[in-house]
Structure 1
Amino acid sequence: MKSLTEYLYFQIPNRMGFLNITPTVEKLVEKSGVKEGLLLCNAMHITASVFINDDEPGLHQDYQKWLEELAPFDPSPARYHHNRTGEDNADAHMKRQIMGREVVVAITNGKLDFGPWEQIFYGEFDGHRPKRVLVKVIGE
């Protein structure tokens, strides 16, 4: 069995943002030499996400608006108990919970086996600092 482990590093300049990481992940699958297997890609921070969806700017704007309505940014400790610890990112933890931690994608004939329009994204909900994503490829 072959395997490859790599880490991707991001520092998103805004508090919230989405980055299409599909081309980078595809290069890592190719580098691994795996023809049949699985890709695991996960955010290694509890205020960031990895998810699959369509790369359409309007949809990304809709996600940002929807997430902000569900868990609005409010640094005060009055809204979120977590912020009573001295943090100001309780909303980011909740947004991550909604968008998910990781994705698993089949590798078939050396390529990510996506459905139509599917792409892999890094989602940031508490930006301005470095964070990392694990990419692990396993298979034959």
Structure 2
Amino acid sequence: MKSYRKELWFHVTGRRAFINITPQVEECLRESGIREGLLLCNAMHITASVFINDDESGLHHDYDAWLERLAPHAPISQYRHNRTGEDNGDAHLKRQIMGREVVVAVTEGRLDFGTWERIFYGEFDGNRRKRVLVKIIGE
């Protein structure tokens, strides 16, 4: 069994963003040479997320609006976490909702996706470099 590991780095300007990282993850799969196995992709920061969904701008807007209603950024005083001097209590909650990682089957050297599925990096506390781990195991 082979194993492959790579870190992808992102620097989102602004507070929040959804980035389709499917092309970078597919490149990792090509580099790995693995044809059958499993791919794990996870955010290595507690205020960012990796998730699978449709690459449709209306949906991304809806996600952003929905998350902001569930865990609004302001007022920052509403979060006990922010009493430490932070201002990202909302980002921790948004990450919890959207999830830490995805696992995708690899079949015949390709991500074994449903029709519209794509992998996204969700940023909820941007303006600094953060990383995503891609780990692939298989043959």
Return the TM-score normalized by structure 2: 0.98
Partner secondary structure for residue 18 of structure 2:
strand
One-letter amino acid of the counterpart of residue 124, structure 1: E
Does residue 135 (structure 1) correspond to residue 134 (structure 2)? The answer is yes
Is the 1:75–1:89 contact (alpha carbons within 8 Å) kept by the matching residues of 2? Answer: no
For structure 1, list consecutive stretches of 5 or more residues without a partner in the other structure.
none
Q: Where does 1:16-27 land on structure 2 (aligned, <5 Å)? A: 16-27=16-27
User: In structure 2, what is the equivalent of residue 107 of structure 1?
Assistant: 106
C-alpha contact 1:19 1:122 (8 A) present in aligned 2: yes
| Contact 1:45-1:131 within 8 A present in 2 as well | yes
Identity %: 71
Post-superposition shift, 1:75?
5.4
Structure 1 residues 81-106: Cα deviation after superposition (integer angstroms, max 9, x where no partner):
00001100000000000000000000
Residues 47, 91 of structure 2: 8 Å contact kept: yes
Per-residue CA deviation, residues 34-67 of structure 1 (Å, 9 max, x unaligned), is 1100000000000000000000000000000000
Runs of 5+ unmatched residues, structure 2: none
**Structure 2 letter corresponding to 1:17:** A
CA distance in 1, matches of 2:116, 2:137: 24
Aligned length: 139
> TM-score of the superposition, structure 1-length normalised?
0.97
5 Å-filtered alignment, 1:1-140, equals 1-74=1-74, 76-77=76-77, 79-140=78-139
Counterparts of 1:76 and 1:58, CA distance in 2: 27
